Chains A and B, each alone.
Chain A
Amino acid sequence: MVLEFKPQGIYCPTGDFFIDPWRPVDRALITHGHADHARWGHGRYLATQAAAPVMRHRLGDIHLEEIRYDEPRRIGGASVSFHPAGHVPGSAQIRVEVGGEVWVVSGDYKTAPDRLSEPFEPVRCHSFITECTFGLPVFTWTDETTIATEINTWWAANRAAGKFSLLGAYALGKAQRVMTLLDPSNGPILTHGAVENTNAVLRAQGLDLPDTVAVTPDLKAADYPGALVLAPPSALGATWARRFRPAATGFASGWMRLRGVRRRRAVDRGFVVSDHADWDGLNSAIAETGAENIYATHGYTEIFARWLNAQGYNAHVVPTEFSGEPLDDGEAA
């Protein structure tokens, strides 16, 4: 086997390294900087140049080596390269080749382009380890322009009604992507500290984000009437959000496709914005790899594997104990 599933995570015996391990290991190849993929405590890290700043910001002083997309690297007896996954800026799929046999670990990915991430590139392989967070036919996304219109219309209506627009979005990736959809002529964009910290890191590496105002303790909300406030979902219900009143609340996540989840969140509006592939995206991505063996992880694995088997693939489920803890639904995704 080129790659194996071990209690620490996905392991390459030939190169003696792990990919996105969730227990401390000596050598970790990291697909992207989200907390459930880039964990603390590994001896050495390898990640894309574009993912590195965020990882340093989050994990502090780590032994991190950088790699460009498509750059070949030899680790032990294995050939390794990173390829854009379209999930968040810097996110990668990792290709591992041993003795002519090619495996690809998808990490998290999104096939539809956005205005920030390096667009997803299919990589031919024999075996594909794919996430399937939204691996059900009920999950299909609308295009970027339609979502932008929805959010901006909502914002403008709130503003006209004398309200703030409090929008929850995961601080790394999702919030910035939402920012690129906003129409700044609607008013100022305020950001929670967690979002602004990531903004600073991404701006420093050259990404083009609209102007934002960081919400500091002494900021007077009244100075920014009708502002859109971007915050991590957990901050929406906290004291932090109380200074923005009256406010309409919204939440940006693929889970917002489901009315039940939307209602559980008890926000006024749910916007279906995901940084994962939808049903069609997953299926087309898998087809484009040309892989025969598919390993489904993170999501509706059993259902998705059964579907793939019926489509003629040789599909397997990566057991949960070998795939770590997923984040709470709706937090990221």
Chain B
Amino acid sequence: MKRFTALYTAIDQTTKTTVKVNELARYFAAAPDDDRLWTVALFSGRRPRRAITTTRLREWAAERAGIPLWLFEESYPIVGDLAETIALVLPPPTRNHENSLSDWIASLRALDKKDDDARKTAVLAAWDQMEAQERLVFNKLLTGGFRVGVSRKLMTRALAQATGRDEAELAHRLMGDWTPDTTTWTTLIEAPDASADLSRPYPFCLAHGLDDTRPEELGPPDDWYAEWKWDGIRGQLIRRGGEHFVWSRGEELMTDRFPELARARDHLPDGTVIDGEVVAWDGTGPMPFNALQKRIGRKRAPKKLLAEAPVLLLAYDLLEEQGDDLRDLPFATRRARLDALLMDLPQEAPLRASPLLPFPTWHDLSETRAQARGARAEGLMLKRKDSPYHAGRKKGDWWKWKLDPLTIDAVMIYAQQGHGRRANLFTDFTFAVRAGNDLVPFTKAYSGLTDAEFRKITAWVRKNTLQRFGPVRQVKPEHVFEIAFEGIHQSPRHKSGVALRFPRMKRWRHDKPLNEANTLDDLHQLLAQYG
């Protein structure tokens, strides 16, 4: 565990990617197999099952620290991290230990079958053997959530550096639903056949936002294909060995959530992998994202929901055909093969090709883009015709060209402190629109301001708190912010009657007094127009 703690600390202490990769590579080259397998698992979001509730952990930590629970609870939002708060309040250790990372994980998992008293004894004993930093790591194992600023990509690069293997191949090996229980370091990283697992998806190719780049800078339009950018969830449909699997971009296996896609088995031959967008479909086009949201929330959708929000896959790439990996072929070729594969599919098949949008000039395309909302899309995707299917986000070949967001000027009425890097700063806000003399809350937003602005608003919140509700502070309605969002939908669950998609703070409108903020009527007008 000391080796892993040292790795965690080294990564945490630097902001430079090269240093992180070197530290990881050094660790991977030297750590025992069980430990490095767990490390790969933890850094790719595969954490051990939570054996103890955080409520218990808080109680035990407060008791051990000799402070009342309320004082612990007050400290937590200021530290911004539960594992860290526990590590900091505990008294110094009285003993030492020599257990490895996998030893500790094994003993944590054994707690699953024990009663509360035995768990408490074990956890208190563990805390008493560790320095603050090691406790923090241990608590992270207890509470889940290992976010340390190491992306999957960085870890894969470090693995490649440590093992001398190809980075793209390693990325592929790490995909899928393995856990340290179902595999070994040798099988996962070193064994000869990377695609031994039938269900294993390919790493997704990701696009960059076009942002300030003008499309004209991308060269002749003829080098590019354009498609709608759909507002669904990115998915990979895998058809192998007589079965089918559906993976989300977050590498969650969603096969059972979308039973409609099982019918793809009737239409696709074995050895096929398709990349596309899962959308809820009303027969003519995609439904708003919140229809799909209901489906994502249910492990198995009831009949009524299946009828209300049926899904299909809008296919845009072919990654595997007859068992061959096509990713190195030019996109134009893959796309032609995809079209050939889907051409004869009947109307009721649960997948169809996402149409290519012809454009003789970039100007024509920008006019097409302006029609995106009408097509129920959130913008355009641009893909270079001769590009391979990259693993991960690589700049230059795939671009998102989204619509400009909708905006509304709203009043900040509640504030809450953030977590992690934003601990001790007020960063999470609730916004309202005006309705007569009332203020009606309609959205929360957390991002979009600079650190300096967050510091400024934090100082203001501290001095302008009207009431406290636990960690939430009601503040004086005074500051107006421009809220940007991608979509607006009716929502009976919200007091305002609307729900926004991807709301964020676009600008702090110092120039606008309270009475110039938008009204509930304005909001409803947007709903009528774009909902």
The interface of chain A, by Cβ under 8 A from chain B, is 136-140, 257-261, 263-264, 266, 268-269, 300, 303, 306-307, 310, 320-321, 325, 328-329
Whether A303 pairs with B71 at a CB distance below 8 angstroms is yes
Chain B: interface size category: 20 to 34
Q: Does B257 contact A (CB under 8 A)?
A: no
Q: Is the interface of B mostly helix, strand, loop or mixed?
A: helix
Whether A268 pairs with B14 at a CB distance below 8 angstroms is yes
Q: Does B67 contact A (CB under 8 A)?
A: yes
Whether B424 pairs with A320 at a CB distance below 8 angstroms is no
Partner of A328, one of B12, B423, B455: B455
A269 vs B84: C-alpha distance when bound (angstroms): 17
- Chain A contacts of B14 at CB under 8 A? 268
A328 vs B455: C-alpha distance when bound (angstroms): 8
Partner of A258, one of B424, B455, B459: B424
Residue pairs across A and B with Cβ atoms less than 8 A apart, 14 shown, are A136-B71, A137-B65, A138-B78, A258-B84, A260-B80, A260-B423, A261-B424, A264-B425, A266-B15, A306-B71, A307-B68, A320-B462, A321-B463, A329-B424
Partner of A138, one of B15, B85, B419, B422: B85
Q: How far is the CB of B450 from chain A (nearest CB, A)?
A: 12
Q: Does B74 contact A (CB under 8 A)?
A: yes
Q: Does B116 contact A (CB under 8 A)?
A: no
A264 vs B451: C-alpha distance when bound (angstroms): 8
Q: Count chain B CB atoms within 10 A of each CB in A136, A138, A269 and give the residue with the most.
A: A138
Chain B residue nearest to A307 (CB atoms) is: B71
Chain A residue nearest to B458 (CB atoms) is: A329
Whether A260 pairs with B68 at a CB distance below 8 angstroms is no
Partner of B419, one of A139, A260, A268: A260
Partner of A261, one of B74, B89, B423: B423
Chain B residue nearest to A326 (CB atoms) is: B459
Whether A269 pairs with B13 at a CB distance below 8 angstroms is yes
* Number of A-B residue pairs having CB atoms within 8 Å of each other in the complex: 72
Partner of A263, one of B70, B72, B420: B420
A257 vs B84: C-alpha distance when bound (angstroms): 10
Q: How far is the CB of A159 from chain B (nearest CB, A)?
A: 17
- Chain B contacts of A320 at CB under 8 A? 462-463
- Chain B contacts of A328 at CB under 8 A? 455
Q: How far is the CB of B475 from chain A (nearest CB, A)?
A: 14
A321 vs B464: C-alpha distance when bound (angstroms): 11
Q: How far is the CB of B455 from chain A (nearest CB, A)?
A: 7
Partner of A260, one of B70, B81, B462: B81
A321 vs B89: C-alpha distance when bound (angstroms): 31
Whether B75 pairs with A138 at a CB distance below 8 angstroms is yes
Whether B15 pairs with A268 at a CB distance below 8 angstroms is yes
Whether A136 pairs with B75 at a CB distance below 8 angstroms is yes
**Known pairs A137-B89, A266-B15; A300 contacts B68 (CB<8 A):** no
A69 vs B455: C-alpha distance when bound (angstroms): 38
A138 vs B13: C-alpha distance when bound (angstroms): 20
Residues facing A in B382-438 (CB within 8 A) are 419-425
Chain A residue nearest to B468 (CB atoms) is: A302
- Chain B contacts of A307 at CB under 8 A? 68, 71
- Chain A contacts of B67 at CB under 8 A? 137
A136 vs B89: C-alpha distance when bound (angstroms): 9
Q: How far is the CB of B234 from chain A (nearest CB, A)?
A: 29
Q: What are the interface flags for B353-390 relative to A under an 8 Å C-beta threshold, 1 for contact and 0 otherwise?
A: 00000000000000000000000000000000000000
Q: Does B154 contact A (CB under 8 A)?
A: no
A118 vs B181: C-alpha distance when bound (angstroms): 60
A260 vs B68: C-alpha distance when bound (angstroms): 24
Chain B residue nearest to A255 (CB atoms) is: B424
